[in-house]
Structure 1
Amino acid sequence: MAVLLAGLFIFLSTPLVVQGIVAWTTSGDFALPNGHFLDAYGGLLHGHFGAGLRRGAADALPQDPVMWVLTVVGEVLTLGASVVVGMWMRELTGANSRHGLATPTQAAEALGVPRLRNSAEVIRPDLYARSGRRGRGGSK
């Protein structure tokens, strides 16, 4: 759920960040719609950039089709970076992998086959439990 919310936040904030960067390159001032986010998103829903910005910063922006192309490029870059970070985090945490587990060959080399066979009921009680033994709770 947290990943979904973070992705939604990044997806929704990218047009405003692109708008701010383009305003910085054209007018020399990084411009975000401070306190006017609803106006800015309303303008974006109608296909217009610059809503919620100061007049000078909004006038310095390129035409809307250019801004939409830049926004799509920004979204693709953001998505690519998110995938790379996600794959890195998956590798780092070992999710869906066997980090820390030995293969059967490695276990046999480390402990020896006789010791593995003697300890099989402890290692894998679901497969090698001896029948007829009492459990911890008392009689059978």
Structure 2
Amino acid sequence: MSMERSRRDRFSNVAPTAQEFKVAVLLAGLFFFLITPLVVQGIVAWTISGDFALPNGHLLDAYSGLLHGHFGAGLRRGVANALPSDAVMWVLTVVGEVLTVGAAGVVGTWMRDRTGASSRHGLATPTQAAEALGVPRLRNSAEVIRPDLYARSGRRGRMGSK
């Protein structure tokens, strides 16, 4: 392995970009938005009858019932009849959706901050650079570190004069 390759690997940024986070958040949001009514239905069935009921094998029936505004479709008849009215279930579903969106927002923000996406991840602040290298060394190397700010006047670039 050459020195150049190891240096390139060492300095490459592997943090996810902001676009990758947007796609991941949208897909996760869609999943949680679609699954929340079924989970609320299962939790309510569990509190009433002691049996956490999901529409196993009848997922299309359950979503068809939800599209028509009815909970309990796809569940066993005894569990479906024990559920409260559809209005109560929709209120509980809205509360569940709000909690899910809030939790997803908190987790997404934490993940973005943790991985450093859309930030200056890996760059030192001026104070940290001064601590690590010392102020005299930073001043002597200013034209190398920030050539856009501290370039020597009258100096030719690599390609020659303009």
Query: Normalized against structure 2, the TM-score is what?
Result: 0.73
Amino acid at match of 1:33: P
Matched-pair identity in %: 83
* 2:114 aligned partner: 92
Asked if residue 101 in structure 1 is aligned to residue 134 in structure 2, the reply is: no
Residues in 2 aligned to 1:110 and 1:51: alpha-carbon distance in whole angstroms: 65
The CA deviation at 1:42 is: 1.1
Residues in 2 aligned to 1:15 and 1:29: alpha-carbon distance in whole angstroms: 17
Unaligned 5+ segments in structure 1 are none
Q: CA RMSD in A?
A: 2.1
Per-residue Cα deviation, 1:89-117 (whole angstroms, up to 9, x for no partner) = 23322334445433324433443333112
Q: What secondary structure is seen at the aligned counterpart in 2 of 1:134?
A: coil
The CA deviation at 1:129 is: 4.4
Residues in 1 aligned to 2:44 and 2:128: alpha-carbon distance in whole angstroms: 56
Which of 19, 22, 40 is 1:18 aligned to?
40
Asked if residue 28 in structure 1 is aligned to residue 50 in structure 2, the reply is: yes
Amino acid at match of 1:104: P
* 1:3 aligned partner: 25
Which piece of structure 1 moves more, 53-62 or 81-90?
A: 81-90
How many aligned residue pairs are there? 137
Asked if residue 45 in structure 1 is aligned to residue 67 in structure 2, the reply is: yes
Amino acid at match of 1:49: F
Residues in 2 aligned to 1:37 and 1:125: alpha-carbon distance in whole angstroms: 61
Q: Which has the higher contact order (CA 8 A, sep 6+)?
A: 2
Per-residue Cα deviation, 1:16-45 (whole angstroms, up to 9, x for no partner) = 000011111112211111121111111111
Query: Normalized against structure 1, the TM-score is what?
Result: 0.83
* 1:120 aligned partner: 142
